[in-house]
Amino acid sequence: MKKKKNLKLFDFNTLSLHAGQNLDTDFASRALPIYQTTSYVFENSSEASSIFNLEKDGHIYSRISNPTVATLEERLASLEKGIGAICTSSGQAALHLTVATLLNSGDHIISSNRIYGGSRNLLGLTLKRFGINTTFVDPNNFKDIKKNIKKNTKLFFAETLGNPGLEILDIEKVSKIMSDADVPILVDNTIPTPYLCNPFDYGANLVMHSITKFIGGHGIAVGGVIIDNGSFDWNKTKKFKTLSQPYPGYNNLNFYEEFGPGAFLSRARAEGLRDFGSSLSPQNAFYIMLGVETLGPRMMKHVSNAEYVASFLSGKEEVAWVKHPSLRSHEGHKLASKIMPKGAGAIISFGLKGGRSVAIKFIENLRLFSHLANIGDAKSLVIHPASTTHAQLNNEELKEVGITEDLIRLSVGIEDLDDLVKDINHALSKVFK
């Protein structure tokens, strides 16, 4: 491989096209090569031993690392201003990998209650079977967050923009609380993407994405990523034994002593990908990289379309309420303008007069918006969360997290704006005859 370029001084769109990639020495391919291989040949026995013992960088087996995936990891880390990244088979796998690396049975998580339904199920139900408990809190109730910190609390989790309620996380305030308690903050930045917000700038320690969504952008590949900025001192307290104490799985290696700020990523890869196997395939890494290369221009169009649609819906008599941070009526409008100055994403939540039955009828009469369980596609999408993505919650829990029976979630795509408006008007005309 040729010497890596120093791209630190370049801007977002340049980094999204070039960061992490060096032209291969065999053919100088301009496009990212797909290294479709399970394993890699060692030069000699000494090299093999050194790589296996984490004494030397190198690829062993594509479950742990792969050159195509590695390029994507480096590019995403660059865009989020992190020191490194690990790609996983899904966004859920990225969340699980983080928890499994940092926590043990008997440990505790504080999580925002305004999160994706799958994440809530993992944290609130599945992890209980393994002795890890989660307390869910209102992300804007800072007294409640502080009150629920325990001696065994080892992670705070929240989304930059809550899904689907679009609550804005005040990362700076939460960061101050958690820093005083020596608890790292993991922020799911899927909806804004690094183009609109860099949580590290406001005090986050770890950032994750479902790269299936806006980063991939085309609904063709599932993937996740966890990114570290090296800001958390894993050796400061005795909480994080997985990183600061000898690990028998690598000849009693102390990850913090060996890798310093990179201790979390090193253990997550060496143990997590090795033992849990939630790796991203090189083929999917290639597909997602195509999305990364157009992320900036796409997000600009997503945002401009969403802002217009939100304003349009606000003026419709049939609409009971609309939530999008670009609207002055949104409780987090001022904060959104601060941490997401280029726009607050492409997700809109709104309700129609008449409740659940009307909402479902509206969805079924849309022709351009695809009715499916995803966000972040270049194509516009729609769903009714109460009956689908958050259906596992009871009525009390739905109320607690702000999901009403009439809530419709739009993921606004990059189609011609006039066509999106026509489609919404068509569906409204069918419902409100």
- Three-state secondary structure call for residue 187: strand
Q: Which of 291, 320, 341 is at the close of a domain?
A: 291
Q: How far apart are CA 160 and CA 334, in angstroms?
A: 14
Same domain for 301 and 272, yes or no, is no
Q: Which of 291, 324, 354 is the last residue of a domain?
A: 291
The last residue of a domain, from among 237, 268, 291: 291
On whether residue 7 sits in a domain, the answer given is: no
**What are the pLDDT digits (tens) for 391-411?**
777 888 888 778 899 999 999
Do 115 and 168 reside in the same domain of the chain?
yes
pLDDT tens profile 47-75? 999 999 999 999 999 999 999 999 999 99
Residue whose structure tokens are 């998580």: 109
Q: What is the pTM of this model?
A: 0.95
Whether 1 is in a domain gets the answer: no
Report the chain's mean pLDDT, rounded to a whole number: 95
Is residue 308 scored above 70 in pLDDT? yes
Average pLDDT over residues 293-321: 98
- Sort 109 into a burial class: Cβ within 10 Å, 0-12 / 13-18 / 19+: buried
pLDDT of 190 strictly over 80 = yes
pLDDT at 8: 65
* Domain shared by 136 and 213, yes or no: yes
The answer to whether residue 191 is domain-embedded is: yes
Reported as type and span, the H/E element at residue 413 is none
- What number of other Cβ atoms are within 10 A of residue 184's Cβ? 24
Answer whether residue 6 is part of any domain.
Answer: no
207 and 133 within one domain: yes
Q: Is the peptide bond before 164 cis (omega within 30 degrees of 0)?
A: yes
Q: Are residues 214 and 345 in the same domain?
A: no
Tens of pLDDT, residue by residue over 123-136, are: 999 999 999 999 99
Phi/psi for 80 (5° steps) reads -90, 0
**Do residues 242 and 326 both lie within one domain?**
no
Residue 2 lies in a domain: no
Q: How far, CA to CA in Å, does 215 sit from each of 343, 375, 384?
A: 16, 11, 23
Q: Domain holding 102: CATH number?
A: 3.40.640.10
* CATH code of the domain in which 413 resides: 3.90.1150.10
The stretch 36-43 carries a mean pLDDT of 96
* Mean pLDDT of all residues in 271-276: 96
Q: Identify the burial level of 335 via C-beta atoms within 10 angstroms of its C-beta, where 0-12 means exposed, 13-18 middle and 19 or more buried.
A: buried
Domain co-membership, 136 together with 150: yes
- 217 and 334 housed in the same domain: no
Neighbours of 117 (CB within 10 A): 19
Q: Is residue 161 part of a domain?
A: yes
Same domain? 167 vs 36 = yes
Exposure b/e, 123-156, CB count within 10 A at least 16 = b:
bbeebeeeebebbbbbbbeeeebeeebeeebbbb
274 vs 267: CA distance, rounded Å: 10
Same domain, 335 and 271: no
Domains contained in the chain, number: 2
Structural domain for 209, as ranges:
12-291
Q: Is residue 199 part of a domain?
A: yes
Helix, strand, coil shares of the chain, percent, nearest 5, are 40, 15, 45
Alpha helices in 19-163 (DSSP H): 45-52, 67-80, 91-102, 117-124, 142-147
**What pLDDT is recorded for position 390?**
81
> pLDDT by residue (tens digit) across 202-238?
999 999 999 999 999 999 999 999 999 999 999 998 8
Bigger pLDDT: 171 vs 28: 171
Where do the H-state alpha helices sit in 81-203? 91-102, 117-124, 142-147, 171-180, 193-196
pLDDT of 3 over the 50 cut: no
Report pLDDT for 7. 60
- Report residue 1's pLDDT band, with 50, 70 and 90 as the boundaries: very low
DSSP conformation class of 271: I
